[in-house]
Amino acid sequence: MTGKPRVVLVDDHSMFRAGVRAELGDSVEVVGEAASVSEAIAVIRHRAPDVVLLDVHMPDGGGQAVLAGIGGGLPDTRFLALSVSDAAEDVIGVIRAGARGYVTKTISAAELAEAIGRVADGDVVFSPRLAGFVLDAFRDAPVVPSVDPELDQLTPRELEVLRLLARGYAYKEIAAELFISIKTVETHASNVLRKLQLSNRHQLSRWAADRRMV
């Protein structure tokens, strides 16, 4: 990634868009904004940005609808989900729809800029909360026989990385802790994300609903 990432902001609150734009300042180049799903699809198609900051909740469908609308049309555009909601089904839903990371709106400006940069470089962004959700979803539940069992389990190393992410460690700190390179940490994280997106273990789709009933 050379130069500043080109970013499109999608959020139905103009005040929030203005705030993010001001906070990010010079660290990114904001090439477009959208306040609704249809507007977002049009702007993203037109500008083909590096990164889309995507609100999970919008009146006419939200982040998942935008991801569905774009489909596989723009392989070089990456999506970073941004939400005030902590609801597990929202988070897992938007990741499974294709977002490359999830952060909450209370994130600091510096952290957000870093997250955008990382997504633009093709890496994934795990907030501690997202890591916690994934750990919960892949937790000790029995695995049903499936086409690709590899997708339905996390390796011990991936679990270690996820635990450290959930504890609030940065990639650099994880690398130091596990005596591996930052690049390896990134690989583990993106493998976890891929499994989260592709795994067909039924817990993932039903998990969010189930755990609310416990």
Partner 1 sequence: MLYRRDHYRIGGVCGGIADHLGVRVWPVRIVFVLLNIAGGLGLVLYVAFAIVLPRRPGADPRSKVPAWVEYLLAALTVLATFALVFDRLPARTVFVPALLACLGGALIWRQASSQQRDMWWRASRTSLLSSPTERGGRIRLAVGAGLVIAAAATVFAGRNVSIGLLQNVLLAVVVTLFGIALITGPWWVSMVGQLSDERRERIRSQERAEIAAHLHDSVLQTLALIQRNAGSSREVARLARGQERELRNLLYGEPSTPDQLAEALRQMAGEIEDAYAVTIDVVLVGDVRLDDRLSALVAATREAMVNAAKHASVATISLYAEVGASGVETFVKDRGVGFVLDEVGDDRQGVRGSIIGRIERHGGQVRIRSTPGEGTEIAIRMDR
Residues that bind partner 1 (CB under 8 A): 85-87, 106, 128-129, 131-132, 135-136, 139-140, 163, 166-169, 212, 214
CB of 187 to partner 1, least distance (A): 23
Shortest distance in whole angstroms from residue 25 CB to partner 1: 20
CB of 133 to partner 1, least distance (A): 9
Beta carbon nearer to partner 1, 39 or 136:
136
Closest to partner 1 by CB, 122 or 168: 168
Q: Give the helix/strand (H/E) hosting 9.
A: strand 6-10
Give the separation between CA 200 and CA 206, rounded to whole angstroms: 11
**Side-chain-side CA neighbours of residue 200 (13 Å):** 6
- The nearer residue to partner 1, 7 or 94, going by C-beta atoms, is 94
Asked whether 185 and 164 are in contact (CB, 8 A), the reply is: no
Contact 68, 40 (CB under 8 A): no
Q: In the complex, what is the shortest distance from the CB of residue 49 to partner 1, in angstroms, rounded to a whole number?
A: 29
Asked whether 175 and 182 are in contact (CB, 8 A), the reply is yes
DSSP string covering 165-189: HHTT--HHHHHHHHT--HHHHHHHH
> Which is closer to partner 1, CB of 59 or CB of 71?
59
- 74, 41 contact by CB (below 8 A): no
Q: Which is nearer to partner 1, 47 or 163 (CB)?
A: 163
Q: How far is the CB of 108 from partner 1 (least distance, A)?
A: 9
Rounded to 5°, angle at Cα 131 from 91 and 82: 40
